[in-house]
């Protein structure tokens, strides 16, 4: 296949620094060299490309916007561009990096003790340790505050009981950030692999995000030392602040998946001949391409402004909700439209479009569903919370 070119109609490159462009290009090259050729087989075989993890660490992609503890300390625009380029490869790959950085390293960095930071962050940054984030439960998805998993104090330990579901990286994680209620308050605990009473099962039968491992976590009288509580997080705000970080990355990432689909659809339309002409010469096809092009450009501008707000400390969770909701919605529409333009080829794994389309169904649901983000915006506009 021809080399991926990216989309930059509004010359947003001019608004990036030299370093940001270099970082974007480096990750783009990495995806071209090491992801594109293997990722579809991973998807088919329902496995994550674990051989890439040391490289992700080496390059500095894990927890890239955190400071210190061997993290790269990049600005938020550069971080967003990384997510965009990774998800151009596959949403599962971006999910791995989002979970590791936004949902595991971020809470340890923000809420953990100095000992916890020293112990885990350099290992997680290098990819020598893998982390997972356990919030969702079988009966509590959109409404995590109703969670059943709980901890009780017992001497110098806490004893955890409950189940978590749909947990990315669960089975392979060396450390799980687990949210559970202690005296009725949501607190964050670090549970290490091999702890007695902690077990995992792989969730199968997914048709989406197959190049990412999804698991259930089970805690049965799981005893962890008291120093594994992250002292800084108390209440639902703890996990929600992590989700804001990860959703920020998703807004950028979904744009990358959309760019991959547009790139494939554009090239296909120009080379596919029907009725003696490239299908790109038909009005209906051009309209589809125009729609994709416009929505990608809008998403890119939304992302860039969001990153500026984040840098300036003005970004709210509601700002992120708008970008996550909008960009994932349009990425999915663009993937479907691209699938259509590829005709029968669009339903095969010869092209990346169908895989992106299937992946984006998960991206639409996780980290706050499309509708939940509408309700968050509704709350912002009206002052009335409709989800309660």
Partner 1 sequence: MKIAVCIKRVPDTATRLNFAGDGTSLDQSEVQWIISPYDEFAIEEGLRLKEKVGDATVTVITCGPAASTKEIRQALGMGADDAVHITSEVDLDPAQIAHCLSSVLKDRGDDIVLFGRQSADAQGSQMGALVASQLGRPFANNIAKLDVEGSEVKIERDVDGGRETLESSLPIVLGADKSLNEPRYPKLKDIMKAKKKPIESVEIDPGNVAFETKAITPPPPRPEGRVVGEGPEAVEELIRLLREEAKVI
Ligand X SMILES: Cc1cc2nc3c(=O)[nH]c(=O)nc-3n(C[C@H](O)[C@H](O)[C@H](O)COP(=O)(O)OP(=O)(O)OC[C@H]3O[C@@H](n4cnc5c(N)ncnc54)[C@H](O)[C@@H]3O)c2cc1C
Query: Can you tell me the distance from the alpha carbon of 227 to that of 156, in angstroms, rounded to the nearest whole number?
Result: 9
Total chain residues near partner 1 (CB under 8 A): 22
Does 144 engage in binding with partner 1 (CB under 8 A)?
no
The reply to whether 311 sits near partner 1 by the rule CB under 8 A is no
Of 137, 83, 143, which is closest to residue 363 (Cα–Cα)? 83
How does DSSP classify residue 105?
I
30 binds, among partner 1, ligand X, none (CB under 5 to 8 A by kind): partner 1
Size of the site for ligand X (CB under 6 A): 33
3 binds partner 1 (CB under 8 A): yes
* Sign of the four-CA dihedral 233, 235, 237, 240: positive
Separation of alpha carbons 372 and 2, rounded Å? 39
What's the min distance (Å) between Cβ of 85 and partner 1?
12
Q: Which long-range contacts (CB under 8 A, 24 or more apart) does 376-383 make?
A: 376/317, 376/318, 376/321, 377/318, 377/321, 377/322, 377/325, 380/318, 380/321
214 binds ligand X (CB under 6 A): yes
Cα separation values, 245 from 80, 105, 106, 144, 228, Å? 11, 11, 8, 17, 22
Is residue 367 part of the annotated active site? The answer reads: yes
Using the contact rule CB under 8 A, the part of the chain among 18-26, 213-221, 238-246, 350-358 near partner 1 is: 18-26
Q: Which one of 60-68, 115-123, 191-199, 363-371 is the stretch in contact with ligand X (CB under 6 A)?
A: 363-371
Stretch of 66-74, 139-147, 309-317, 328-336 contacting partner 1, by CB under 8 A:
66-74
Q: CA-CA distance, 165 to 220, in Å (whole number)?
A: 15
365 binds, among ligand X, partner 1, none (CB under 5 to 8 A by kind): ligand X
> Which chain residues interact with ligand X by CB under 6 A?
99, 133-136, 141-142, 166-168, 209, 214, 272, 274-275, 279, 282, 284-285, 340-341, 343-344, 347, 362, 365-367, 369, 371-372, 375, 387
């Amino acid at each position: 296949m021809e080399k991926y070119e990216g989309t930059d109609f509004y010359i947003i490159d001019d608004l990036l620094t030299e370093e940001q462009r270099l970082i974007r290009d480096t990750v783009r090259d990495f995806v071209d060299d090491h992801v594109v050729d293997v990722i579809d087989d991973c998807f088919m075989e329902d496995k994550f490309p674990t051989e890439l993890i040391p490289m992700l660490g080496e390059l500095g992609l894990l927890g890239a916007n955190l400071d210190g503890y061997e993290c790269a300390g990049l600005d938020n625009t550069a971080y967003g561009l990384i997510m965009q380029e990774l998800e151009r490869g596959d949403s599962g790959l971006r999910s791995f990096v989002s979970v590791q950085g936004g949902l595991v390293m971020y809470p340890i960095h923000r809420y953990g003790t100095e000992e916890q930071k020293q112990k885990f962050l350099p290992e997680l940054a290098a990819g020598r340790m893998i982390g997972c984030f356990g919030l969702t439960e079988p009966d509590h998805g959109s409404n995590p505050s109703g969670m059943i998993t709980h901890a009780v104090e017992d001497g110098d330990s806490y004893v955890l009981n409950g189940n978590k579901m749909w947990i990315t990286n669960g089975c392979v994680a060396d450390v799980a950030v687990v949210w559970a209620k202690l005296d009725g308050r949501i607190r964050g605990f670090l549970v290490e692999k091999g702890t007695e009473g902690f077990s995992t099962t792989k969730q199968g039968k997914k048709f989406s995000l197959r190049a990412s491992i999804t698991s259930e976590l089970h805690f049965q009288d799981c005893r962890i030392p008291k120093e594994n509580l992250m002292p800084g997080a108390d209440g639902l705000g703890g996990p929600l602040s992590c989700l804001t970080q990860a959703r920020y990355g998703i807004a950028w990432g979904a744009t990358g998946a959309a760019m991959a689909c547009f790139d494939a659809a554009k090239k296909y339309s120009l080379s596919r001949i029907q009725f003696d002409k490239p299908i790109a010469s038909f009005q209906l096809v051009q309209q589809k391409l125009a729609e994709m092009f416009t929505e990608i450009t809008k998403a890119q501008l939304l992302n860039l402004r969001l990153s500026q707000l984040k840098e300036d400390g003005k970004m709210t969770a509601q700002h992120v909700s708008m970008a996550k909701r909008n960009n994932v919605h349009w990425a999915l529409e663009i993937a479907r439209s691209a699938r259509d333009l590829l005709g029968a080829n669009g339903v095969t794994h010869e092209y990346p479009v169908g895989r992106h389309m299937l992946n984006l169904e998960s991206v639409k649901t996780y980290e706050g569903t499309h509708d939940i983000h509408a309700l968050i915006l509704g709350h912002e506009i009206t002052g009335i919370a409709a989800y309660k």
